[in-house]
Amino acid sequence: MARQLDEQIAGRFPVGRRLRVLDVGMGRGTQALRLARAGHQVTGVEQDAQLIATARGELAGEPEGIRERVRIVQGDGRDTGVHFLPGSFDVVLCHGVLMYVEEPDPLLAGLARMLAPGGLLSLLVRNGDAPAMRPGLGGDWAAALAAFDTTAHLPHARTEANGATHARPGLEGRADRLAELTATLAGIGAPLHAWYGVRVFTDTAFTDTAADEERAQADLTTLLAVEERAGKTDPYRSVAALLHLCGVRG
């Protein structure tokens, strides 16, 4: 997903331009730190105090120049209008958050208002068009059958894009359909520009055992190449566990 995001940034902004980035639901700050290291000014918003403490700990180990480029604000993302002026950011990230928000449209509209003209909105959501894939591939036929008819109350997905712990076992969330989000993005003035699949094959390829972790690391280069290719290729991306949507502010 980081490669997909970098691809969109590179295609949208001049090389070397220092961007103003808002990362809503920053988790432990994985993406925020990565972008700050690349020279961008990053504001992270997170409501979980423990995750904020972890992010600050990670930030403390960075050189002063990088530390100065990161600001952390405690909040849930729905109060961006309180903290920031409209049009304050070139890039807004909202990764692994919408699935746990009951009414996402107001949040999305608020995030779009934060974008300057031509700004990029990056969303990582659960794929509501393929909820039966994971239980089906795992042989849980009853869960797969039930998943065909709903996008709500789905078992947790692995969404560690920001190093957050949103995806805990037993935690349920909602999935979003591509067509519905496409219409929403158009309605809030940040129409869909590009979209990708994330975790096309790897969502069910590995468990948390040490053997699987070792195998994943050994094959990491090839694994990433396969996922990157599948994430932008039909029909594979359509059945990914997660969707990465990139809208552009008009």
Which helix (H) or strand (E) is 224 found in, with range? helix 220-230
End-to-end CA distance of the chain: 24
Q: Which of 100, 96, 93, 97 is nearest to 122 (CA)?
A: 93
pLDDT of residue 159: 53
Per-residue pLDDT tens for 185-229? 999 999 999 999 999 998 877 655 666 667 777 788 899 999 999
Residues 6+ apart with CB under 8 A from 78: 101, 106, 107, 110
Cα–Cα distance for residue pair 232/1, rounded to 1 Å: 11
Domains of the chain, each with CATH number or no CATH: 2-248 (3.40.50.150)
Taking residues 107-111, report their average pLDDT.
Answer: 96
Residue 79: C-alpha distances to residues 122, 144, 174 (Å):
18, 37, 21
**pLDDT given at position 220:** 87
CA 216 → CA 103, 180, 223, 232, distances in Å? Answer: 36, 34, 8, 21
pTM: 0.90
- Give the per-residue pLDDT at 208: 59
- Show the tokens assigned to 236: 């594979």
